[in-house]
Amino acid sequence: MKKLAPMVVALIAATASVSAASAPVDRPADQDAGSLFDTIAMLDTAVFDAFNTCSSPQQLQRHAGYFSPDVEFYHDTGGVTWSRQEMIANTEKYVCGNFRRELVPGTLKVFPIKGFGAIEQGSHRFCQFDNGQCDGMADFVIVWNNQNGSWKITRVLSYGHRANE
């Protein structure tokens, strides 16, 4: 397995109380209310609320619970991780206590995958805890699998990293 640079964990994307992910999600006109969009928006909020508070071991484990054990995480500048264990180790080392993820309002889109789950797409920014600056931004795709009502993330793509717009 290849080791990832600190920014790889930025996605996981892949959201604290001041996070935009905790705020109501703007639903695009082509996304139905009370639908798969709402389910995925709630899951996004939950997974990144745990991410943003991962300095607490309980929150880090809560965050880990949203991912399949064999999750694949692709990062344009950092490379690939091939397991939840490696991804969570990187999150703990590079993210926890350092920055939070915020979903950019109005960017979330959700697409069904027949017989499997959903694709989540959007943009997010990263804000430093020490100075409050939101200086990084990226696009993301998350693939969710629904097994009997239990949603797990199986693939993550984090790309287009740039300075905050």
Structural domains of the chain, with CATH: 6-163 (3.10.450.50)
Mean pLDDT, the chain, rounded, equals 85
Distances (CA, A) of 101 to 33, 98, 147: 25, 11, 27
Confidence band of 124 (pLDDT split at 50, 70, 90):
very high
Looking at residue 9, what is its pLDDT? 37
Please indicate whether residue 6 or residue 99 has the higher confidence score (pLDDT).
99
Please indicate whether residue 134 or residue 14 has the higher confidence score (pLDDT).
134
Task: Confirm whether pTM is higher than 0.75.
Answer: yes
Confidence band of 164 (pLDDT split at 50, 70, 90):
confident
DSSP 7-58: GGGG------TT-GGGSPPPPPTTS-TTSHHHHHHHHHHHHHHHHHTTTSHH
